[in-house]
Structure 1
Amino acid sequence: MAMEQYGEAIWLDGVFHDPKDANTSVMSHAIHYGSGFFEGIRAYATPDGPAIFQLKEHIERLFRSCAYYHVTIPYTVDELVQATIDLVDRNGFEACYIRPFVFLGTPWQALMAKDTEVHVGISCWQLGEYFEKGTGIRAKVASYRRVSSTMMPMQAKAAANYMNSQLLKGEALRDGFDEAIALDMNGNVSEASVANLFLVKGNKISTPSLDCSVLDGITRQAIMRIARDQGYEVIERHIGRDELYVADEIFLTGTAAEITSVAEIDHISINGGRNDVANELLGLYRKAATGHLEEYAGWLTYVTPAVAE
């Protein structure tokens, strides 16, 4: 990605920088030990200008992720919310993907250095489809397991956790698939490399419970609410691998993925690639994210608030 695709500015440590100048030392703690935390957020084009989807919820989760590792962010939630709004406005994007991130800088020499500086940055860029929507993607159950929360806090959106995701995704791509589905250490279905998983059977929609090494995705929570509002029974539970192959539908959710149907797993067609429920929920989700459903208006933070007449 060329640096100009990041727009005019990246916010770093309270200052707007030209993207090519938003740099850090190669001796940063994060580079040597993986001590970083991040969020992925979308801003959508709406009739009232760009609106950021569940911005405060994402920033609050960033603070929780850091808290697991005793990292203190030197800003408040409200300050980072405002910085994000200002960044999108400054770059003039109608719709974009936003990446707030926290990382430890220097000194790096000690694994648990007390005086290591905490840096905070925010970048944004225009993003199309993470997965092509339509007929559904092809997935495989990965040979690598999802890391257990007895080993690392999997509710933290920590950079180090995504080495596990890279192994999952890389294996899937090398084997000719679009995505990987991980099992947890007990053999229960966990999630995809960077997305939560849902299984449809009849009028019931199931998703792995959080004790299956699942990140409590913000899009996951939104889809659970939308589905329940549409009359579906939504259950968080343990899901066995064999249930995947006989589901009525499988779909993934995430900020980048939005709602993506899975048509095939391990070369087995999932009910002929049916995606009725996934398409229904995707349509409602995008209406909510673009300001067309009043009942979900509280999920949106407008970059340029409407001026009262």
Structure 2
Amino acid sequence: MTTRSAAPQGRRIWVDGRLVPWADATVHVLSHSHQRGSLIFDYMSVHETPRGPAVFRLDDHVRRFLASAELVGLPLRRDAAAIRAAVLDAVRANPGATAVKLSGYLASVEVDVVPVDDHVTLAVAAYDPVQDVLRPKGVEARPFLPVRVWVEKERRNRRPDIMPPQAKVAANYASPMAAKWAARRRGYGEVLLVDDQGFVAEGPTTNVFLVDREGTLRTPPEEKVLLGVTRASILELARAEGRKVVEEKFRPEAFRDAAEAFITGTSAGVWAIASVDDHPLPEAPGPVSRALGERFARVVSGRDPAFEHWLAYVGEARD
């Protein structure tokens, strides 16, 4: 299906210090970022709270963005404070935004894999993915109901010896995209990838947890997965509630003995898994998934004083 939609009215994107209209935030088709997949990015959420809109864990996202630049080798000549200020400027300029996409890319037209012009453009888009992207294409947002998951059998997860999975770089998403697209055609809502040793790693844009029969929350270790900000938040919330948490390797067969399972991500929060490879989980959502999901929802909406420090209030935050 091919669709062309009108640019969202009033949306402006922060590009290298200027706020430009949505439709004008363009890059040449022969740019290095397009042709080599060198764009780095981060994605964060904006929530309405009693104190106005707030960006969730802004500083953590900025640190991860800078880590991606270092892992890829992009000479991003901006520090954390400048990037933080750019995000806040973009959110203030776009009322009603619920998400922020932060991008760093080589906009110049290049011939070689190593660019002659190594200027890294910084762009910040603050917008509403449903209102500004999906609905103009005739697509309505779907609720995050328990999801059928397929474990990919052919393609492996991003390998550290090629490009670290911790790097949020466009090229790292080609293989997971192909795997998820194929799974979608077969009726699955999400796909999980395994690492080069056959252990469960993560989804294309999500991390995964299972709860075993003893109530222990288990998730793959950091070495071979993206360091998800939501993942880190759920781990901290679970430990704060006194739950037993283990970061360890496990194989796909572990889901057959699990009491419940869920995936986490910026868009989904805590998303219960209904089945893995057509094997149903006993409960979806189970009590742990439900409790952590509800606690997380309170945190991001500014209704949990213990974790209010995770919120950068747009109207109050320092630039």
Q: TM-score surpassing 0.5?
A: yes
TM (norm. structure 2) is 0.90
* 1:246 maps to 2:247: no
**Could you tell me whether the CA contact under 8 Å between 2:200 and 2:249 is conserved in 1?**
yes
| Counterpart residue identity of residue 75, structure 1 | R
Counterpart-to-counterpart distance in 2, 1:86 and 1:205: 38
Counterpart-to-counterpart distance in 2, 1:3 and 1:43: 24
Alpha-carbon shift at residue 24 of structure 1 (Å)? 1.7
**Could you tell me whether the CA contact under 8 Å between 1:5 and 1:125 is conserved in 2?**
no
* 1:180 maps to 2:191: yes
Alpha-carbon shift at residue 76 of structure 1 (Å)? 1.8
Further displaced range: 264-273 or 107-116: 107-116
TM (norm. structure 1) is 0.93
- Residues 179-218 of structure 1 deviation map (CA, whole Å, 9 limit, x = unaligned): 111111100001112100001012210000123x211111
Alpha-carbon shift at residue 44 of structure 1 (Å)? 0.4
Match of 1:233 in 2: 244
| Counterpart residue identity of residue 154, structure 1 | P
Superposition RMSD in Å:
1.8
| Residue 115 (structure 2) aligned to one of 100, 113, 116 | 113
**Could you tell me whether the CA contact under 8 Å between 2:215 and 2:244 is conserved in 1?**
yes
- Going from structure 1 to structure 2, the CA distance change for 1:279 and 1:99 (only over 3 Å counts) comes to same
* 1:298 maps to 2:309: yes
* Over 4 Å off, 4+ runs: 128-131
| Counterpart residue identity of residue 195, structure 2 | D
Counterpart-to-counterpart distance in 2, 1:250 and 1:7: 41
| Residue 76 (structure 1) aligned to one of 79, 97, 111 | 79
Match of 1:65 in 2: 68
Match of 2:149 in 1: 139
| Counterpart residue identity of residue 199, structure 1 | L
**Could you tell me whether the CA contact under 8 Å between 2:56 and 2:310 is conserved in 1?**
yes
Alpha-carbon shift at residue 112 of structure 1 (Å)? 1.2
**Could you tell me whether the CA contact under 8 Å between 2:158 and 2:195 is conserved in 1?**
yes
Alpha-carbon shift at residue 47 of structure 1 (Å)? 0.8
* 1:24 maps to 2:27: yes
- Residues 240-292 of structure 1 deviation map (CA, whole Å, 9 limit, x = unaligned): 11101220111001111211000111111011434221111111111111111
**Could you tell me whether the CA contact under 8 Å between 1:6 and 1:124 is conserved in 2?**
no
- Going from structure 1 to structure 2, the CA distance change for 1:131 and 1:172 (only over 3 Å counts) comes to farther
The DSSP-based 3-state class of the residue aligned with 2:170 is coil
| Counterpart residue identity of residue 197, structure 1 | V
Q: What residue ranges of structure 2 are gaps of 5+ in the alignment?
A: 131-139
| Counterpart residue identity of residue 250, structure 1 | A
Match of 1:56 in 2: 59
Counterpart-to-counterpart distance in 2, 1:150 and 1:131: 37
| Residue 297 (structure 2) aligned to one of 262, 277, 286 | 286
- Residues 95-116 of structure 1 deviation map (CA, whole Å, 9 limit, x = unaligned): 5111000111214112112433
- Going from structure 1 to structure 2, the CA distance change for 1:21 and 1:223 (only over 3 Å counts) comes to same
Q: What is the 5 A alignment of 1:154-193?
A: 154-193=165-204
Percent of aligned pairs with the same amino acid: 29
Match of 2:161 in 1: 150
The DSSP-based 3-state class of the residue aligned with 1:39 is strand
The DSSP-based 3-state class of the residue aligned with 1:52 is strand
| Residue 282 (structure 2) aligned to one of 271, 280, 300 | 271
The DSSP-based 3-state class of the residue aligned with 2:126 is strand
Number of residue equivalences: 303
**Could you tell me whether the CA contact under 8 Å between 2:158 and 2:164 is conserved in 1?**
no
Counterpart-to-counterpart distance in 1, 2:297 and 2:87: 21
